[in-house]
Amino acid sequence: MKKVYKNIFIAAFIGPTFLVLLAVVFYPFLYNLVISFSNMNLRHIKDWQIIGLTQYIKVFTDPTEPNFYAVFLKTVIWTFVNVFFHVVIGVFLALLLNQQIRGKSIYRTLLILPWAIPQYIVALTWRGMFNYEYGSINLVITKYLSLPAIEWLKSPTEAFIACILTNVWLGFPFMMVVALGALQSIPHELYEAAEIDGANWLHRLRHITIPLIKPVMIPAITLGIVWTFNNLNIIWLVSNGGEPSDQTHILISFVYKAAFNLYRYGYAAALSMVIFIILLFFSLFFMKKTRATESAY
């Protein structure tokens, strides 16, 4: 293929995507960058000025309760645990569904329901299920497992676990669908050949399935990490805005509180930039490790 033609081809194929993204992301990003160096807040909402790095210094040194580092740690735990279970459960179910079994399409359809239902009401339903006296989760724990009931929403750790459980429930169907699609790229002949060679289930998983679904799964996982890191809804709804006592916050809910409860736009913008940079470095590292930008073949 001629070089000119190749370049036109690439530009025509990639162009629309980048035009759309530039249109939407470029200006807002610059705007936030500028605001993060300013004193925009309640008292200076229209007449804000550039004041340098003050807001960034505040992000790292302000004695917020809990402080930045504790919240950051919690955010990392939140992200890692969630994505881990999303992927493990998602891939596991996809593997089960990828066999010849009866009622496959019924299972498949019912299993995507958590993704299909509007999040707001179902998150509040989960909050109800975690209620100490009337919630169904404690009922299962006490009646069927004969364990003592858990005060889910009253203590920080349990409340945090409650948020994670809810979010795992919400997130696994998406990974399952991605994994189901990815599994289609594996030719059956590969498994047949492996079976003849006497490879067991675990071998096949490790040497055929995982490497071959990787090109599709890695992007989903990377984005899953970024999304989970910035997922405000579930924490906000299940823990009712950081309860008990602001102990269940992750970084994004801090941004939200600063910007919309206390009108600290400059501070919130600086914190957003910090979140952005953390995610950027993390993704670079992750992609280098998994070589996601390189082709599998």
Question: Which region among 68-76, 77-85, 202-210, 267-275 touches other proteins (by CB under 8 A)?
Answer: 267-275
Question: Which region among 68-76, 77-85, 170-178, 202-210 touches other proteins (by CB under 8 A)?
Answer: 170-178
Instruction: Identify the residue among 139, 161, 194, 199 touching other proteins (CB under 8 A).
Output: 139
Is residue 134 classed as helix, strand or coil in its secondary structure? coil
Question: Which region among 24-32, 70-78, 79-87, 202-210 touches other proteins (by CB under 8 A)?
Answer: 24-32
Per rule CB under 8 A, is residue 218 in the interface with other proteins? yes
Per rule CB under 8 A, is residue 290 in the interface with other proteins? no
- Pair 22, 34: CB distance under 8 Å: no
Per rule CB under 8 A, is residue 246 in the interface with other proteins? yes
Instruction: Identify the residue among 20, 50, 57, 205 touching other proteins (CB under 8 A).
Output: 20
CA–CA dist 247, 68 (Å, integer): 12
How many positions of this chain bind other proteins (CB under 8 A)? Answer: 132
Per rule CB under 8 A, is residue 223 in the interface with other proteins? yes
Tell which positions 25-64 bind other proteins, by CB under 8 A. 25, 27-29, 31-32, 39, 41-43, 45-46, 62-63
- Per the document, the length of the chain is 297
Per rule CB under 8 A, is residue 191 in the interface with other proteins? no
Question: Cβ of residue 277: shortest distance to other proteins, in angstroms?
Answer: 9
Beta bridge partners of 50: 38
Per rule CB under 8 A, is residue 287 in the interface with other proteins? yes
Per rule CB under 8 A, is residue 252 in the interface with other proteins? yes
Is residue 38 classed as helix, strand or coil in its secondary structure? strand
Question: Which region among 68-76, 79-87, 202-210, 268-276 touches other proteins (by CB under 8 A)?
Answer: 268-276
Per rule CB under 8 A, is residue 72 in the interface with other proteins? no
21 Cβ neighbours under 8 A, 6+ residues apart: none
Q: 242 — alpha (psi -120 to 50), left (phi > 0) or beta? A: left
Kindly write down the DSSP assignment for every residue of 46-105, as one continuous string. Answer: SS--B-TTHHHHHHHH---SS-HHHHHHHHHHHHHHHHHHHHHHHHHHHHHHTS--TTHH
